[in-house]
Amino acid sequence: MGGIIYASPICTAVSGNFRKVRVEEYDKESLWAAAQEGRLYTKEPENNSKESIIQEVREYVRQLHPLTTDKFREHADDLWERIFACDELLELLMPSTKARKFKAFNKYNVMRIISILREAGVYRQYNDSEFNAILEHGKKDSRYRKFLGKGLEKRSLLMLLLHIVELFDDNTN
């Protein structure tokens, strides 16, 4: 019997193009034998759905709750939900196909958004290193820290984010 292989990104011995295993091509005994011999692999599903990325960002920014200003303390999560609801801003959080360092979400753009929210009064005015230490769990500055001082590259996105904060601010008063 030939090798029965369905790709696993974890297995380095398996590479190349893969195809789905079709039930009619193999009987149960052959599949069982291949599994016992260590020749059967499964591919882990990629978890890059929008909802999973939103959840990852939620958990990441939730670490900043101690730095939320009194005005936004009760509603910081709701503000982020409004950001997630905006397709243009949500697109900034999606991982890039070129991204090697982060697969879950685009940390660089999350840092940019956090920086703007800090300037808008959502977060207290602490220095970039303190924000970085809370988010990245270390005293040493990460490569993402320098993006805390940068705004968004497109003015239209900046204005959209500030508009969301402004509307949110008006509704909380």
Summarised one tens digit per residue, pLDDT across range 130-153 is 887 788 876 666 666 666 667 777
Summarised one tens digit per residue, pLDDT across range 105-125 is 888 888 889 989 998 999 988
How far is the C-alpha of 110 from the C-alpha of 89, rounded, in Å? 10
Summarised one tens digit per residue, pLDDT across range 28-56 is 777 777 777 877 666 544 556 888 889 99
pLDDT above 60 (res 84): yes
Residue 125: CB atoms within 10 Å: 9
Q: What is the 3-state secondary structure (H, E, C) of 82-124?
A: HHHHCHHHHHHHCCCCCCCCCCCCCHHHHHHHHHHHHHCCCEC
Domain boundaries, the chain: 1-44, 50-172
